[in-house]
Amino acid sequence: MADQGEAGLGRQGGNAIRTPLRLLPEQYPRVRALFEPLRYNTVVDSVIDGNTPAWVVAADAERPTTALMWPRQDAMLVAGRPDAHDFNAALHTLLTSEVVPDARARGIPYLSLHYPDRAWKRPIEAEILPGLGATRVRRRTYRRGQLRGNWQRGMPPNWEMRRVDERLLTSSLTYADQMAGWVRSFWVSDADFAARGLGFCLANDEAVASWCVSVFVSAPDFELGVATAPEYQGHGFATLTATAFVEHCIKNRLTPRWHCWEDNKASQCVAAKVGFESPMRYDVYRFEL
């Protein structure tokens, strides 16, 4: 990868290939307009606002016309001009030489590529992701409807709903380390999450059973992620923590966001129980690592 702020040129098949430049965080706002069609994904503004660590690469740091955003998790996003063929080919090299090895080394099971519209399908298949076994799969994002249920009434005996804070993330409770792993995968630090993020968990004096934490944030939008430790699954705990999260958002004039895979029926079931409805469906390319 070329040094930040310096244009690089390589050659492939006799044609000049502009090397993707990794932008500096203060340059991220320059790509916001490119990603406008994908801003239903809170991650776009969360990265640009500085809440989510990421790689943002473009061919031109001053006036980017095409860019790739990777928050170093399973999702990548590409936007701008789909006909930037040299840059698309350079992205393929970047993915295979740096992104895929980095993700694989950190145990990420697959990568997905989000794109704005149909014009990207051929460039993605022929130039950006060839040879990676990528297939087009469907995701859904929800708009919240009416809040359903009351988490206070559903609380099991000897458990309590706790706000996730720095102290809890570093506690010795069973599964607190897994909850902390979630937070640290999406945030710069525990302190940063505590200052700008949001989370609730179902816990007692021994363990954390389930948690719902903000994975991407650009106020007022808070995209949530929810998980339950294996031994506590099947008791509705995810619904309780997600309901507490959404209730807090509503009371504080924040907007909770929910994304999931089209085949993730468990996530869709919890979303419906909490009150999310009218999903918008969209396609992404996904390949296993």
For residues 180 and 169, give the distance between their C-alpha atoms in angstroms, rounded to a whole number: 5
Q: Which helix (H) or strand (E) holds 103?
A: helix 100-105
Residue 225 belongs to some domain of the structure: yes
Q: What is the pLDDT at residue 149? A: 85
pLDDT band per the 50, 70, 90 thresholds, residue 272: very high
137 part of a folded domain: no
- Say if residue 12's pLDDT is above 80: no
**Residue 139 falls within a domain, yes or no?**
no
112 and 179 housed in the same domain: no
Assess whether 42 and 157 both reside in one domain. Answer: no
Interstrand relation of 208-218 and 21-22 (parallel, antiparallel or unpaired): unpaired
242 to each of 89, 236, 262, 272, 277, how far by Cα in Å?
41, 10, 19, 11, 14
Mapped onto helix, strand or coil, the DSSP state of residue 63 is coil
Distance CA 11, CA 177 (A): 46
Out of 132, 166, 198, a domain closes at 132
pLDDT at residue number 15: 41
pTM above 0.95, yes or no: no
pLDDT surpasses 80 at 147: yes
User: Is 288 part of a structural domain of the chain?
Assistant: no
Q: Is residue 248 part of a domain?
A: yes
What is the model's pLDDT at position 256? Answer: 96
**Model confidence band, residue 4 (pLDDT cutoffs 50, 70, 90):** very low
Number of structural domains in the chain = 2
Q: Is 128 among the domain residues?
A: yes
Residue 239 pLDDT > 50: yes
- Same domain? 88 vs 166: no
Examine the pLDDT at 30 and tell me if it is beyond 90: yes
pLDDT digits (tens, 9 = 90+) for 194-205: 999 999 999 999
Percentage of the chain lying above the pLDDT 90 cut? 91
Residues 66-85: what's their mean pLDDT? 97
pLDDT of residue 145: 83
Q: Kindly report which listed range (142-151, 160-169, 211-220) carries the lowest average pLDDT score.
A: 142-151
Average pLDDT of the chain to the nearest whole number: 92
* pLDDT of res. 18: 58
| 151 and 269 fall within a common domain | yes
For the ranges 16-30, 42-56, 164-178, 275-289, which has the lowest average pLDDT? Answer: 16-30
User: Do 117 and 161 lie in a common domain?
Assistant: no
- What's the mean pLDDT in 272-285? 96
What is the pLDDT at residue 280?
96
Last residue of a domain, one of 99, 132, 165: 132
- Asked, for residue 287, whether it belongs to a domain, the answer is no
| Distance in angstroms (rounded) separating the CA atoms of residues 22 and 102 | 15
Residue ending a domain, choose from 109, 132, 155: 132
> Average pLDDT, stretch 199-218?
98
Kindly state whether residue 200 falls inside one of the protein's structural domains. yes
Quick one: pLDDT at residue 146?
A: 87
CA distance linking residue 95 with residue 101, whole number of Å: 8
Same domain, 87 and 215: no
Note whether 95 and 163 are same-domain residues. Answer: no
Summarize the confidence of residues 96-117 as an average pLDDT.
97
Three-state DSSP class for residue 187: coil
pLDDT value at 5 more than 60? no
**In Å, how far are 59, 128, 227 from 22, measured between CA atoms?**
9, 17, 32
Residue range of the domain that includes 20: 8-132
pLDDT confidence band for 10 (50 / 70 / 90): very low
Q: Which contacts qualify for 181-184: CB closer than 8 Å, 24 or more apart?
A: 182/211, 182/213, 182/215, 182/225, 182/227, 183/213
The beta strand positions in 120-170, using DSSP E, are 135-144, 160-163
The pLDDT assigned to 38 comes to: 98
Q: Which residues contact 82 (CB under 8 A, 6 or more apart)?
A: 66, 88, 119, 120, 122, 123
> What's 97's domain CATH number?
3.40.630
